[in-house]
């Protein structure tokens, strides 16, 4: 939930060159010399290439205010903590009780801090309207909680679009007992997306024209070329299928590098954040995706990465060349650089429009070559859960130029008119909740799924999606897809991490079978930029109610063409495999288009909690629910 105080942003400047936006300034960061701005005396003064300062201990004073930054050649206001973007790294220790005095120095906006992934009492969670009333200008709030966990986490504002404007930082909780892996040196690698636009203005632009950043729609030339190679019937069927869904196969992300500059530890690609190493060391890299709207695909050419923790908690080690990290997720990886003096950390966006990058080096000032951005992938009907024709469909999409369309043509043509049955009738709104909404979106699992996707038939859908003007499509045959690396990563010649690779070292602490199942559908309308659960936006939805102490299963079905990272505050989400077996404990569960994924929850935290998509503008547009855990 967000408060709606006006953000302290003037109008955005004129459009900048694409190269400047993608790569940024060579010395982008805090604009310390800008006239008319004054930073607090305790503001970080470290070189931007080394990242934010580290604050450790149990007592902290955090001041939220505005500071000027310049990443693209234009000085813009950012919302910062202690004058720093990103906010200072907070280093805690498992078992300690930490006290944080957070003061609001913004002139006219409420603020807040949410400690993402940290298990704590509800009144410490930092969500205005649910956890507390927010922190008003000139006021402070005292956060105090005990740390029962260790690992890599992060913190950010939960007020309007302040997270997009710079209010985010890393958390490291050192373990009380040794972990099952060791390292000699570590670095935080915090990824984010920056825009010179007022974030509120960007949201209004998305509401008016959601496809503003989609520069890659099929053209007349593409149509003629497709007719020559695929034939008239297949090409027309392809265009009709997407037209009936009012979508395009190029719509992978709502905001991309045409608007964003991607940052690594608050540093632009041109500025080149650098982490040092000595040859032969084991280096732990703590990757955190603090992007408001961006999925990053991460690799270090020339180095294998061994994933040892996901969302803060240890997993059985798995060695990969690349991994996709959704918004709000964290992965800890160990690398062993040797044989060369510099390696590029390369994090391209899922839509292949830009990248963040940094360097591992034996000394500052060194660089390695930067790989080319991969060919742009395209969605297929299989990706949308309308396929059933074998592989997910983009295996043929890794060629360059127009050859990348081949997989899309084949899949769409093979479905023919099939996709038209998935396009939702957008007539009169269905105002009756059919009993499910009053239960917080809860559906009887046996009634909905017994004849649905799990038994080989079509997926059943909540009545609230029927004739709903806020729902533009429904998936027909969703599957878990836990072994799918995702669009643009399949068969790319690299070993790519999937959810199926993740297995928690710790067993399921609860051990009970879920006593009930709640199924929720991720829904949206692309053109209207409307997002919701079960077609019901947050403002109209009843809370999802859990009984204290119960063990339950939540099933998420993605009825949209977008990938959604879903975060449930207050409790862990224990991801299951296709057979309902425990796999890995997470705080954010990524749900791919056309997929069906489930996780168990132990309702052991009393209070009111947020449950939402962690794509910031999706949450603001309605993809959020309140969860109440009552005694």
Give the residue carrying structure tokens 């915090």. Answer: 190
Domains 18-182 and 437-630 share a fold: yes
Over residues 58-92, the pLDDT tens digits come to 999 999 999 999 999 999 999 999 999 999 999 99
pLDDT in tens, 218-240: 554 554 565 567 776 765 566 56
Reported as type and span, the H/E element at residue 306 is strand 305-310
Q: Which residues of 588-618 are buried (b: 16+ CB within 10 A; e: fewer)?
A: bbbbbbbbbbbbbbbbbbbbbbbbbbbbbbb
Enter the tokens of residue 361.
């080096």
The whole-number pLDDT of residue 253 equals 82
Q: What is the CATH number of domain 18-182?
A: 2.60.40.420
Burial class (CB in 10 A: 0-12, 13-18, 19+), 540: middle
From CA 249, how far away is CA 9, in angstroms rounded? 34
pLDDT above 60 for 309: yes
- Provide the residue ranges of all domains of the chain, joining segments of one domain with +: 18-182, 437-630
Superfamily of domain 437-630 in CATH is Cupredoxins -  blue copper proteins (2.60.40.420)
Distance CA 292, CA 615 (A): 6
CB 281, CB 335: distance < 8 Å: no
Tell me phi and psi for residue 623, to 5 degrees.
Answer: -85, 75
pTM of the full structure: 0.84
Q: Look at residue 413 and tell me whether its pLDDT is greater than 60.
A: no
Q: Which position has the higher pLDDT, 206 or 450?
A: 206
- What is the percent of the chain with per-residue pLDDT over 90, rounded to a whole number? 69
Tell me: the pLDDT tens digits for 343-391? 999 999 999 999 999 999 999 999 999 999 999 888 776 776 655 433 3
């Amino acid at each position: 939930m967000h408060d709606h105080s006006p953000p302290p942003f003037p109008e955005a400047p004129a459009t900048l060159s694409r190269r400047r936006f993608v790569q940024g300034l060579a010395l982008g960061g805090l604009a310390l010399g800008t006239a008319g701005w004054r930073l607090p005396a305790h503001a970080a003064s470290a070189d931007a290439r080394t990242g934010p300062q580290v604050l450790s201990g149990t007592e902290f004073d955090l001041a939220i205010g505005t500071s000027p930054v310049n990443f693209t050649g234009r000085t813009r206001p950012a919302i910062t903590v202690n004058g720093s973007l990103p906010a200072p790294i907070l280093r805690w220790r498992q078992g300690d009780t930490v006290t944080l005095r957070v003061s609001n120095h913004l002139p006219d906006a409420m603020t807040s801090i949410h400690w993402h992934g940290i298990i704590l009492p509800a009144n410490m969670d930092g969500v205005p309207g649910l956890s507390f009333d927010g922190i008003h200008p000139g006021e402070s709030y005292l956060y105090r909680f005990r740390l029962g966990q260790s690992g890599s986490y992060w913190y950010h504002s939960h007020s309007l679009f302040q997270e997009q404007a710079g209010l985010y930082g890393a958390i490291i909780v050192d373990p009380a007992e040794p972990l099952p892996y060791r390292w000699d040196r570590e670095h935080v690698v915090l990824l984010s997306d920056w825009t010179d636009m007022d974030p509120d203005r960007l949201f209004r632009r998305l509401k008016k024209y959601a496809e503003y950043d989609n520069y890659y729609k099929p053209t007349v030339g593409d149509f003629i070329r497709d007719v020559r190679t695929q034939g008239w019937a297949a090409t027309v069927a392809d265009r009709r299928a997407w037209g009936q869904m009012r979508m395009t196969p190029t719509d992978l992300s709502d905001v991309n590098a045409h608007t964003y500059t991607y940052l690594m530890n608050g540093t632009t690609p041109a500025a080149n954040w650098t982490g040092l190493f000595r040859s032969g060391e084991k280096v732990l890299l703590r990757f955190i995706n603090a992007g408001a709207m961006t999925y990053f695909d991460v690799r270090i050419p020339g180095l294998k990465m061994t994933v040892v923790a996901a969302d803060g908690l240890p997993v059985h080690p798995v060695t990969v060349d690349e991994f996709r990290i959704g918004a709000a997720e964290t992965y800890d990886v160990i690398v062993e650089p040797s044989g060369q003096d510099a390696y590029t950390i390369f994090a391209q966006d899922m839509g292949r429009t830009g990248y963040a990058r940094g360097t591992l080096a034996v000394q500052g000032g060194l660089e390695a070559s930067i790989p080319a951005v991969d060919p742009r992938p395209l969605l297929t009907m299989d990706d949308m859960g309308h396929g059933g024709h074998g592989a997910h469909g983009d295996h043929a999409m890794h060629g360059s130029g127009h050859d990348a369309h081949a997989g899309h043509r084949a899949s769409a043509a093979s479905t023919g008119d099939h996709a038209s049955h998935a396009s939702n009738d957008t007539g009169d709104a269905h105002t009756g909740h059919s009993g499910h909404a009053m239960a917080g979106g809860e559906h009887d699992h046996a009634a909905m799924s017994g004849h649905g996707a799990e038994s080989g038939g079509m997926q059943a859908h909540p009545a609230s999606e029927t004739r709903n003007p806020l729902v533009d499509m429904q998936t027909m045959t969703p599957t878990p897809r836990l072994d799918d690396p995702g669009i643009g990563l399949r068969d790319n010649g690299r070993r790519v991490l999937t959810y199926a690779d993740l297995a928690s070292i710790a067993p399921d602490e609860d051990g009970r079978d879920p006593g009930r199942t709640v199924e929720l559908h991720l829904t949206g309308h692309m053109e209207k930029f409307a997002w919701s659960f079960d077609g019901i936006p947050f403002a109209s939805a009843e809370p999802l109610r859990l009984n204290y102490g119960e063990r339950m299963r939540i099933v998420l079905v993605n009825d949209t063409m977008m990938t959604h990272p879903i975060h449930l505050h207050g409790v862990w989400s224990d991801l299951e495999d296709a057979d309902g077996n425990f796999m890995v404990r997470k705080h954010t569960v990524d749900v791919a288009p056309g997929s069906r994924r489930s996780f168990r929850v132990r309702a052991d935290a009393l209070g009111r909690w947020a449950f939402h998509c962690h794509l910031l503008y999706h949450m603001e547009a309605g993809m959020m629910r309140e969860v109440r855990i009552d005694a």
